[in-house]
Chain A
Amino acid sequence: MSLLFSYLFDAAHWSGPTGIPARIGEHLFYSVLALALGAVVAVPLGALIGHTRRGGFLVVGIANGMRALPELGLLTLLVLLMGIDLLPVTIALAVLAVPPLLAGTYSGVRNVDQGAVDAARGMGMREWQILFKVEIPNALPLILGGLRASALQVIATAAVAAYVSFGGLGRFLIDGLKSLDYSQMAAGAILVALLALAVEGLLALVQRAVVSPGLRGGGRRSPTAEITTPDSSPDSTDTTTATPEPAGATP
């Protein structure tokens, strides 16, 4: 037990430029950069394909292809090509962020009740209005579910930044391994796990705040979780009956 926690609970490791708070900050910084880059690519692409309903095969291809890439190999290759820089690290991590976000955005937009989309068009919404006023708000639970899955993935993997001499919580793993300081390695592993959980909890709160109560139901986490069950709100009142909308398909 003491071996597991001795590094973590040593006050000397909680300050300074190589202390735990600084490492957490670096770790979050790489993660946010990678998520932002991943989102900039995945969300517009997923929304476009979902809205036009053309090119769905691209989503499957890109998502599966990227999931299959070996992260450490990719990072090594990018660093060899681009030099030791923040950009290859960000790209390597963004590759992990893309599949869940792309699949979530695509299936979210695609599975919006077609009756609502038809009505929106028939009432005189332009295509961009349909996308922004109807499809994206209704897809939000799945888009944010994708974001949560991506965040989890990226934070858990951002330790690889240390492998190419950057900071972050990976430092404790790499340095610990080098000096056979297992207590330090344990601290790194525990901190990565805790950070991932904390961010997951935070994003769950964000989701609760931004998703319309009209769409709220059971906990929707990632696009692989049950994505199409329309829920009657638990707080629906007296005589009203909920009518299920037609369900869509999983991505």
Chain B
Amino acid sequence: MDGGIDVIEFRSVTKRFADGTVAVDGLDLVVESGKITVFVGPSGCGKTTSLRMINRMIEPTEGTITVDGRDVMAGHPADLRRGIGYVIQQAGLFPHKTIRDNIATVPLLLGWSKPKARARAEELMQTVGLGPEMAGRYPAQLSGGQQQRVGVARALAADPPVLLMDEPFSAVDPVVRESLQDELLRLQGELGKTIVFVTHDIDEAVKLGDKVAVFRTGGHLAQYAEPAELLARPADDFVDGFVGRDRGYRTLGFLSDEVPLGTITPVHVGESATGGWTLVVDEEDKPLGWVTGAGPVAEADVLPGGTLHPVASGSLRSALDAALSSPSGQGVAVDDEGRLAGSISADAVLAALAAAREAA
């Protein structure tokens, strides 16, 4: 997907509902192609209305919206929508259809043959991490997370260049949500779709978005920027308040780690510790936890450690968190295989942060 196509452009778009409510007020915004753009804001800020105007589920009162240069108001809305993937909150699967047939919906609407549409559906099940044994099941037999995977697969079925996602992960529990988010990022790495994603969760916005549009109540765009920029330089008090109190801490997530690792001498279970805090590792040098005091180490004495900082993929945030969450005050860094790589102190992280500031 090269730049310039599948751009979504809002030009002075206003939506006023019949009761006089202004949901979106003079929105000017360009959604870049091949990127994830997140619309975020409190309830009633017009983020969902803006999203739903892209596929004409809601029609703008004033202004124009173009997708790939074409006005969305030209032509039949059904034809527009078949070219745009659509994922909604509760997945919205068809209860009477099997998973396979749910996913095959748009290809069949587009006139594909049944075998071809079903083959495509089964291929997509694999793409989104659903086992082939799910193909003949019905939505009621799936968990919320699995249903949402089906929702994503269904939206991708006809390979649309644009994907609209309306709070797709907000109805699942936090653990499942995080895995769905990671999955989406992995998929996007392969597919490079133009994705517009609506959420009220700023953490989700910052995690997923290449760019984030913060909406303010009354349908105004408060700031449109890359996540790191948003956290580092909120445009005004509203954005500042919305991105939250610990935005300084979250900014660390965007700084790659150049923290020098300290050396640490671990012991194995059965060996003798020399006193103070000592790190215990298993036979493969993977950290198990900490012991305190001198003497031989029994497995039962090992206290759980803090979070681990992956040296290759971590950020300053994970480095600092490793240091802060460790019972000994010394964070533990690991390599790609999870083996001990060294120790991290909070001071070292802060020094690296100061260095990064100077470099910027």
Q: Name A residues whose Cβ lies closer than 8 Å to a Cβ of B.
A: 113, 115-126, 129, 134, 137-138, 140, 212-215, 230-233, 236-237, 239-243, 245-246
Name the A residues within 8 Å of B164 (CB-CB). 122
CA distance A243 to B89 in the complex (A): 14
Name the B residues within 8 Å of A241 (CB-CB). 143-144
B92 touching A214 by the CB < 8 A rule?
Answer: no
Q: Is B91 an interface residue (CB 8 A)?
A: yes
Contact A233/B138 with A121-B81, A215-B96, A245-B95 known, Cβ cut-off 8 Å: yes
A116 touching B140 by the CB < 8 A rule?
Answer: no
Q: Which of B133-153 contact A (CB under 8 A)?
A: 137-144, 146-147, 151
Q: Name B residues whose Cβ lies closer than 8 Å to a Cβ of A.
A: 55, 57, 77-83, 86, 88-98, 105-106, 109, 137-144, 146-147, 151, 154-155, 164
A236 touching B140 by the CB < 8 A rule?
Answer: yes
User: Nearest 7 pairs between A and B by C-beta?
Assistant: A214-B138, A119-B92, A124-B82, A115-B92, A212-B96, A124-B81, A122-B86
B139 touching A214 by the CB < 8 A rule?
Answer: yes
CA distance A72 to B105 in the complex (A): 50
A214 touching B147 by the CB < 8 A rule?
Answer: no
B141 touching A232 by the CB < 8 A rule?
Answer: yes
Name the A residues within 8 Å of B77 (CB-CB). 124
A119 touching B139 by the CB < 8 A rule?
Answer: no
**Beyond A119-B91, A245-B90, 9 additional pairs, beta carbon < 8 A:** A113-B90, A115-B90, A115-B92, A119-B88, A124-B82, A124-B83, A214-B97, A231-B140, A232-B141
CA distance A237 to B138 in the complex (A): 11
- List 10 contacting pairs A-B, 8 Å CB cutoff, sorted by A: A116-B93, A119-B86, A123-B155, A124-B83, A138-B94, A212-B138, A213-B138, A214-B96, A232-B141, A233-B141
Q: In the assembled complex, how far is the CB of residue A142 from the closest CB belonging to chain B, in whole angstroms?
A: 13
Contact A214/B86 with A125-B109, A233-B140 known, Cβ cut-off 8 Å: no
A124 touching B94 by the CB < 8 A rule?
Answer: no
Q: Which residue of B lies closest to A121 (CB)?
A: B57
Contact pick for A212, options B78, B97, B137, CB 8 Å? B97
Q: Which residue of B lies closest to A240 (CB)?
A: B141
Q: Which residue of A lies closest to B138 (CB)?
A: A214
Question: What number of residue pairs across chains A and B have CB atoms under 8 A from each other?
Answer: 107
B88 touching A118 by the CB < 8 A rule?
Answer: yes
Name the A residues within 8 Å of B141 (CB-CB). 232-233, 236-237, 240, 242
Among A125, A230, A232, A246, residue most surrounded by chain B Cβ atoms (within 10 Å): A125
Name the A residues within 8 Å of B94 (CB-CB). 116, 119-120, 134, 138
Q: In the assembled complex, how far is the CB of residue B159 from the closest CB belonging to chain A, in whole angstroms?
A: 14
CA distance A214 to B141 in the complex (A): 8
CA distance A140 to B57 in the complex (A): 27
CA distance A73 to B90 in the complex (A): 51
Name the A residues within 8 Å of B105 (CB-CB). 120, 123
Q: Which residue of A lies closest to B91 (CB)?
A: A115
Name the A residues within 8 Å of B88 (CB-CB). 115, 118-119, 122
A124 touching B78 by the CB < 8 A rule?
Answer: yes
CA distance A131 to B138 in the complex (A): 20
B79 touching A214 by the CB < 8 A rule?
Answer: no
Name the B residues within 8 Å of A117 (CB-CB). 92
Q: Which residue of A lies closest to B144 (CB)?
A: A243
Contact pick for B78, options A118, A125, A240, CB 8 Å? A125
Name the B residues within 8 Å of A119 (CB-CB). 86, 88, 91-94, 151, 154
A137 touching B96 by the CB < 8 A rule?
Answer: yes
CA distance A119 to B91 in the complex (A): 8
A122 touching B82 by the CB < 8 A rule?
Answer: no
B143 touching A243 by the CB < 8 A rule?
Answer: yes
Q: Which residue of A lies closest to B83 (CB)?
A: A124
Q: Which residue of B lies closest to A237 (CB)?
A: B141
Name the A residues within 8 Å of B90 (CB-CB). 113, 115, 245-246
Name the B residues within 8 Å of A243 (CB-CB). 140, 142-144, 147
Name the B residues within 8 Å of A230 (CB-CB). 95, 140
B89 touching A240 by the CB < 8 A rule?
Answer: no
Q: Which residue of B lies closest to A242 (CB)?
A: B140
Q: In the assembled complex, how far is the CB of residue A117 from the closest CB belonging to chain B, in whole angstroms?
A: 8
CA distance A114 to B75 in the complex (A): 25
Q: Which residue of B lies closest to A114 (CB)?
A: B92
Name the A residues within 8 Å of B55 (CB-CB). 122
A240 touching B142 by the CB < 8 A rule?
Answer: yes
Name the A residues within 8 Å of B143 (CB-CB). 239-241, 243
CA distance A124 to B85 in the complex (A): 10
CA distance A212 to B92 in the complex (A): 17
Q: In the assembled complex, how far is the CB of residue A236 from the closest CB belonging to chain B, in whole angstroms?
A: 4
Q: In the assembled complex, how far is the CB of residue A215 from the closest CB belonging to chain B, in whole angstroms?
A: 5
Q: In the assembled complex, how far is the CB of residue B94 from the closest CB belonging to chain A, in whole angstroms?
A: 5
Name the A residues within 8 Å of B96 (CB-CB). 137-138, 140, 212, 214-215
CA distance A243 to B82 in the complex (A): 28
Q: In the assembled complex, how far is the CB of residue A158 from the closest CB belonging to chain B, in whole angstroms?
A: 33
Contact pick for B89, options A115, A138, A239, CB 8 Å? A115
CA distance A245 to B171 in the complex (A): 12
